[in-house]
Structure 1
Amino acid sequence: MPIQIQRRAAIGLLSGGAAAMLRGGTAVAAADTAGWMDFKSRFLLPEGRVLDNGNGNQSHSEGQGWGLSLAEHHNDRAAFDRMLLWTRRNLRRETDNLHAWRWRPDRQPAVADSNNATDGDLFIASALLRGGRRWSDPALTEEGTAIARDVLRLLVRRAGGRLVLLPGAQGFEHRTHVVVNPSYYSYPAIATVAEAVPDPAWLRVASDGLRLLRAARFGRWGLSPDWLAVSRTDRSVSPAQGWPARFSYDAVRVPLWLTWAGLADEVAVEAPLSFWSDTSHRQVPAWADLSTDSVAPYAAGQGVLLIGRFAARQRGILQDRFGPDASNEKRDYYDTALVLLARMAAAERGQAI
């Protein structure tokens, strides 16, 4: 795609996407409200910690950021304040405005690694900015702006002629390449923080991120890997060593973020839909191996199906394979969060799913 078209797509994302994420007051369906109440009852502890019951009851900046975003969407200030207080006290780093990525209840100290996770910081920042607008609270806006500035200051690098978004402040820069996580390009959150902290670098990060997603296509279905190596010397990309070469639990979020941001026509949405819709699968697989084209022997969760339904409908496709919601009784934190985020995204795109 020509550079000027890429830039127009990114400009549209950073203007229209920000408007969608910041407008507040989006109508919330009764089923969505019930889903949020269920999420709180199962995964939000009284002190404001979001519980990842699929990973030893840990907590993450990701979970706190998603929880804050959902609380703002549902106009739940009480839950928002509880989560924000816990996040400040337990995850905020001492040297900047970013957050440690993981808190473990079985360790002392509970935060042994102060490295951040960029997607968590982006969602925390965007939730604060949205909350500041919804509740006319300048302190929230100021806090979200400070986080956004540090994301731009500490986590943007140049590699192979592109500006890339590091997954964390440490551990992802190497002599020959930089490792990125395509699903950390949470475009709706990027649109929100770019509105609060105007800087041309956001536009470059957004447009170069789209270029990466168009290039990062591997295996039979042309899918993005969970972790991607970006060469420092040329424009080549490859699945990053040290992680399975899979389209899996991270990368399934890529089509959600793109569709939410109004970019459902991107190939990084089209390819997952083709994979999930492939009738050679007995069920929608949880992952695909991009080296061997083998797929998971077990099914994807309801969150993935709802992402597929949302993306398909935004592309004007009716797809029975992403059928009605199943019972939420057995969903873990991650699957449940994806369901609620897909519903939030659909509501902000004016769609019911």
Structure 2
Amino acid sequence: MATSAGCCRYAKLTCTASASAAFARLTGLLAMVLTACVVMPAQAASAATVKPSATSRACAAWPRWEAFKGNFISTDGRVIDVGSADARTVSEGQAYGLFLALVANDRPQFDKLLDMTQNILAQGDLTKHLPAWLWGKRGDGSWGVIDSNPASDADLWLAYTLLQAGRIWHERRFTALGTLLARQVLSQETARLPGLGWSLLPGSKGFHPSAGAWRLNPSYAPLQVLRGLDAVLPEHAKWRQLIETSRRLLVETAPHGFSPDWAQYQSAKGKSGFVPDTATRALGGYNAIRVYLWAGMLDRTDPDASLLLKTFRPMVDYVRTHGFPPETIDTATGESGPNAGNAGFSAALVPFLQASGEPLLAQAQAARVAQLETRTPSGYYGQVLSLLGLGWQVGRFRFRANGSLWLAWRHGCAMELQ
């Protein structure tokens, strides 16, 4: 990354040579110099909620979304993990696609994505079936469902997005479908864990490997999504319990401030608690990077925002020291792997760095995304992370404290500052 030729002043923030020197770091495989001239998005200026009268980048054309559609979504609405051996579609991809289409006010694409999700993943009826998590080219050359087990992260995002779309687009069909999906999540993808309470399982089966042991995924339960579902469906008390147990999962599995991809909860002989996952041990990587993304996008007045920012503060310190996030990290020791995280990892950390009071670090990671993508375009997952992290950065969407979705295109394209 090249340094800037000069410094600039914006929103009462001045870039200085000393600030540049403080951020410059060299490490291992990547020499990284953070930029000295940072044009800050308006939302970094204040911790208070502000609605400026001037229009912002939030309603400009969204080239990244258009590129994503062209590169990863088929004409009939299937999000494809391009480059995978089975040309797979996963329910998570369909769910993220629906959310991003709503953020972009792209109703035609939203409808195609929803139809395809229902037709190929949910046996033609989302009112009765949670979507299978994996569809693609089978070993015999045929196309269809490869693994019918649902994935609760996708199902939560689908239910949440449909409920928000129903409210925002005044479409009762979406509201009804989101409600039914949410009820299926509660009935099929949760369990009461001894000593913990009602908890979100990663799927309906396969995550209770032995008596007294359950596999859980910290990145599967964004607290703002759970709050949004609780706000719309308050008659289901389980949502509030899921918020409590998910908070514990996030905090108690990060002893050194880094989240693991997977964890286990064990309850036996009167003792209960979280332990490293037997399959992945305490490794944090491609799943866990979303934990920081969700935490960074919490409303500043969310009762758990400050707790999570404090819990994961070591990731901020790591980025300041190295100039990039790690691709993997041993969360039991805090020791990072040899490789730097890719462009999607940097994009996912932008909201977290900004919410942590580090706007210069946030902007530097956004610049790193642009720099890396000029050499190697990101794949499906990296592009999703970039759409979410960078879309949030420029103010296209926000999650309010109760979990409801705020969209710039509905509010005169003015940023809502936090």
The total of aligned residue pairs comes to: 325
| Aligned partner (choices 113, 119, 129) of residue 97 of structure 1 | 129
The whole-number CA distance in structure 2 between the counterparts of 1:264 and 1:53 is: 35
- For residues 217 and 237 of structure 1, what CA distance do their matches in structure 2 show? 10
Relative to the length of structure 1, the TM-score reads 0.84
338-347 vs 147-156, which moves further: 338-347
Q: Tell me the residue number matched to 2:227.
A: 191
State the match for 2:356 in structure 1.
315
The answer to whether 1:146 aligns with 2:180 is yes
Supply the distance in 2 between the matched residues of 1:159 and 1:126 (Cα, whole angstroms): 24
Equivalent residue, structure 1, for 2:45: none
Structure 1 position 323, deviation (Å): 4.6
Mapped to 1, the partners of 2:265 and 2:389 lie a distance apart of 29
Aligned to 1:237: 274
Tell me the CA shift for residue 144 of structure 1: 0.7
Which secondary structure state, in structure 1, belongs to the residue aligned with residue 149 of structure 2?
coil
Distance 2:60 2:70 in 1: 15
Asked if the contact 1:70/1:344 (under 8 Å) is kept, the reply is no
Of 329, 352, 370, the match for 1:326: 370
Higher RCO, 1 vs 2 (CA within 8 Å, ≥6 residues apart): 2
- Quick one: which amino acid aligns to residue 122 of structure 1? L
Whether 2:237 is the aligned partner of 1:200: answer yes
Partner letter of residue 297 of structure 2?
W
1:287 is displaced (CA, Å) by 1.2
- The answer to whether structure 1 residue 286 and structure 2 residue 327 are counterparts is yes
In the alignment, which of 70, 74, 81 is matched to residue 104 of structure 2?
Answer: 74
Q: Any stretches of 5+ residues in structure 2 without a counterpart?
A: 1-54, 399-414
- Which moved further from structure 2: 225-234 or 235-244? 235-244
**1:174-222 superposed Cα distances (whole Å, 9 cap, x missing partner):** 312111000001223222222332222111110121122111124xx43
Change (3 A) 1:207 1:301: same
Sequence identity percentage: 31
Q: CA deviation at 1:284?
A: 3.0
8 Å CA contact 2:324–2:365 kept in 1: the answer is no
CA distance in 1, matches of 2:341, 2:254: 20
CA distance in 2, matches of 1:62, 1:287: 21
User: Which residue in 1 is equivalent to 2:76?
Assistant: 47
For 1:190 and 1:139, locate their aligned partners in 2 and report how far apart those are by CA, in whole Å. Answer: 21
Deviation of 1:236 after TM superposition, in Å, equals: 1.7
Q: Distance in 2 between matches of 1:61 and 1:289?
A: 28
CA contact under 8 A between 2:296 and 2:354: conserved in structure 1? no
SS in 1 for 2:275: strand
AA aligned to 2:338 is: P
- Distance in 2 of aligned mates of 1:146 and 1:203: 18
2:341 to 276, 300, 313: 300
In the alignment, is the contact (CA less than 8 A) between 2:315 and 2:325 conserved in 1?
Answer: no
Q: Is the 8 A contact 2:138 2:146 kept in 1?
A: no
The structure with the greater share of residues assigned to strand is 2
Residue ranges of structure 1 left out of the alignment (5+ in a row):
1-25
Q: Secondary structure at the match of 2:336?
A: coil
User: More deviation in 142-151 or 241-250?
Assistant: 241-250
TM-score, length of structure 2 as denominator length: 0.71
For the residues of structure 1 that align with 2:102 and 2:323, how far apart are their CA atoms?
38
Whether the aligned pair in 2 keeps the contact of 1:43 and 1:52 (CA below 8 Å) is yes
Map of 1:259 onto structure 2: 296
CA distance in 2 between partners of 1:32 and 1:301 (Å): 25
Q: Offset at 1:52? A: 1.2
Shift of 1:314: 1.3
1:336 equivalent to 2:383? Answer yes
1:6 aligned partner: none
Q: Does 1:129 align with 2:163?
A: yes
**In structure 2, what residue type is equivalent to 1:334?**
Y
Report SS of the residue matched to 1:164. Answer: strand
Q: Is the 8 A contact 2:166 2:172 kept in 1?
A: yes
* Structure label with greater radius of gyration: 2
Q: Which amino acid aligns with 2:155?
A: D
Q: 1:27 and 1:132, CA in 2 relative to 1: closer, same or farther beyond 3 A?
A: farther
Q: How much does 1:283 deviate?
A: 4.5
1:158 corresponds to which residue?
192
CA–CA distance in structure 1, aligned partners of residues 213 and 183 of structure 2: 25
Asked whether the equivalents of residues 60 and 102 of structure 1 are also in contact (C-alpha less than 8 Å), the reply is: yes
For the Cα contact (< 8 Å) 1:259–1:269, is it kept in 2? no
Q: What is the Cα deviation at residue 308 of structure 1?
A: 2.0
The C-alpha deviation readout for 1:277-300, integer Å capped at 9, x for no partner, is 3x2x47532111235654333321
Q: Which residue of 2 aligns with 1:272?
A: 315
Contact 2:263 2:275 in 1 (8 A): yes
Q: RMSD of the TM alignment (CA)? A: 2.6
Specify which structure has the higher proportion of helix.
1
Is the contact between residue 350 and residue 390 of structure 2 (CA under 8 Å) also seen in structure 1? no
Instruction: Kindly state the Cα deviation for residue 114 of structure 1 after the two structures are TM-superposed.
Output: 0.9
